[in-house]
Structure 1
Amino acid sequence: MACTGHSHDHDHEDQLGLSLLQYIDQSQVFCLNEHRENAGRSVLKPYEDRLSLEPNLQSPRDDDDIELLMHIPFTEAVTIRSICVSGRASIFKPDDEDESTSAPFTCKVFANRTDLDFDTARELEPDVKIELLPPEHLAEVQTDDSKGPGTLDFPLRPASKFKMCTSITLFFGDNYAKIMAEAEGNDDEDVIPTEINYIGFKGSGTSVKRQAVECVYETRGMKKDHKQPGAEFGAKEGPSI
């Protein structure tokens, strides 16, 4: 189900609820294909830092692969009402063209799934698929060089899918640079990595604790290591969360 609605997140608390950052089990968050270790964790920032461009999450430049798969468990079951995903720009082109990045174009959202790899996330129907608006959509652009455009909240519907969530998995399979190149018939253009600066959720806790289990994860999961459908997502050994 595609999601295109959104709201501007002017307040820390609004009709969509409070930030769920306090409920995220940071030690168990991981992202496959991230450009550096724990880059995925680094973009789960406090709400007041949502406009900061550093630290960020990027897909690696050395393998021309723009996909990212991120798993976020919670310390207790939560109700998620909205998600915010923020990139620097549709296509960010600094003076050094080799450092260009692009904001993600779509986000597939899966609730309470611990069995996803890249192949299954690419093919499986998600609980919701969000078409992310370009960062330039917000008219109020910050003038401070350390800040980018504002952020947008995308409500998650149907709401019943996101009640009693113990984890959420996000798949970013494309970005604006790829979509624009395909639209112009320039599929052979150089691949521009995906960049994400902030991921946030709003909703509420339930006080239902998630059962703790012990897992051992790779320090940096690569796509070539996660091609078998049904394999544990990001785990070397031990049960899934």
Structure 2
Amino acid sequence: MDPPECQGHSHDHDHTDDLGLSLRQYMDIPRVICLNEVVPGSGREILKYHEDRLSSTPSLQSPSDDPELLLTIPFTEAVTVQSICICTTATSTNRTAAPRKIRLFTNREDLDFDMMHDDLPPQQILELLPPHHVEGGTIDYPCRPAGRFQNISSLSIYVETNYNSNDDDEDEENGGTEITYIGLKGKGTKAKRMIVEAVYEAQGMPEDHKVPGDELANHNIM
């Protein structure tokens, strides 16, 4: 599958807030969890401030034989996420690669890889552009449909494949995924986290309120 073109993406070579302000101040960093990280705590360290987005260190890496990562970011208050930016400086020298296909989930802090492999429906699926397309800059990917990312208490990012992955050769070693920066843009709502969780519990899980045809809407590939 060829990478998508630039439609719908904001090239952030210069600092812009067209897709919202940085949500770094609302991230509950001590409670961030990353599964399959080689260095414990490295998932938290790539949630850098915007001005450090092009820094190559520190970085988050998965094992050399496994491209998957699962990062869950809780927020200190309800937020609306309008866009996501993921950067990497991975090179062939260390056999790591940039993430390619990711899935986004909201309000789920209980996720694990078994759930991912069972095809739990995400709020959005994104295929990221290859690194050479954004060399020297960054791209903000809009979160759509927008309503699924409003007033949320957490965002989970599942990296399914990377640009070392070869869909035609299952026996070939893929190499690990490397990420140097994840940034979110949007806005805070000033609603405290406990209120968001209470509303979420009252509404129940998404699968308890299925709408005909929504299965297709859950797979919004850009």
Question: TM tier, shorter chain?
Answer: 0.7 to 0.9
Q: Equivalent residue for 1:155? A: 142
Residue 164 of structure 1 pairs with residue 151 of structure 2: yes
CA distance in 2, matches of 1:205, 1:5: 23
Q: 1:121: Cα distance to partner?
A: 2.2
Runs of 4+ in 1 over 3 A off after TM superposition: 10-13
Which letter does structure 1 place at the counterpart of 2:92? Answer: K
The within-5 A match list for 1:132-151 is: 132-138=128-134, 141=135, 149-151=136-138
Does structure 2 conserve the Cα–Cα contact (< 8 Å) formed by 1:107 and 1:170? yes
CA distance in 1, matches of 2:179, 2:110: 24
Q: Equivalent residue for 1:128? A: 124
Q: Equivalent residue for 1:232? A: none
User: Could you say what secondary structure the match of 1:211 adopts?
Assistant: helix
Does structure 2 conserve the Cα–Cα contact (< 8 Å) formed by 1:12 and 1:19? no
CA distance in 2, matches of 1:35, 1:18: 30
Which letter does structure 2 place at the counterpart of 1:152? Answer: I
CA distance in 1, matches of 2:186, 2:71: 19
Structure 1 gap segments, 5+ residues each: 142-148, 213-241
Q: Equivalent residue for 1:230? A: none
Q: 1:169: Cα distance to partner?
A: 0.5
CA distance in 2, matches of 1:116, 1:200: 21
Distance 1:186 1:121, change over 3 A: closer
Q: 1:65: Cα distance to partner?
A: 2.0
Q: Equivalent residue for 1:77? A: 78
Residue 23 of structure 1 pairs with residue 26 of structure 2: yes
User: Could you say what secondary structure the match of 1:177 adopts?
Assistant: coil
CA distance in 2, matches of 1:109, 1:12: 24
TM-score (norm 2): 0.80
Aligned residues: 189
Residue 54 of structure 1 pairs with residue 57 of structure 2: yes
RMSD across aligned positions (CA): 1.7
Does structure 2 conserve the Cα–Cα contact (< 8 Å) formed by 1:81 and 1:156? yes
Residue 211 of structure 1 pairs with residue 179 of structure 2: no
User: Could you say what secondary structure the match of 2:189 adopts?
Assistant: strand
Structure 2 gap segments, 5+ residues each: 196-222
Q: 1:5: Cα distance to partner?
A: 2.8
Q: 1:38: Cα distance to partner?
A: 0.5
Q: 1:88: Cα distance to partner?
A: 1.9
Does structure 2 conserve the Cα–Cα contact (< 8 Å) formed by 1:12 and 1:18? no
Q: Equivalent residue for 1:6? A: 9
Does structure 1 conserve the Cα–Cα contact (< 8 Å) formed by 2:63 and 2:175? no
Q: 1:131: Cα distance to partner?
A: 0.6
User: Could you say what secondary structure the match of 1:136 adopts?
Assistant: helix
CA distance in 2, matches of 1:155, 1:164: 16
Q: 1:174: Cα distance to partner?
A: 0.8
Q: 1:11: Cα distance to partner?
A: 4.5
Q: 1:104: Cα distance to partner?
A: 0.6
Residue 93 of structure 1 pairs with residue 92 of structure 2: yes
User: Could you say what secondary structure the match of 1:153 adopts?
Assistant: strand
Worse-matched range after superposition: 46-55 or 110-119: 110-119
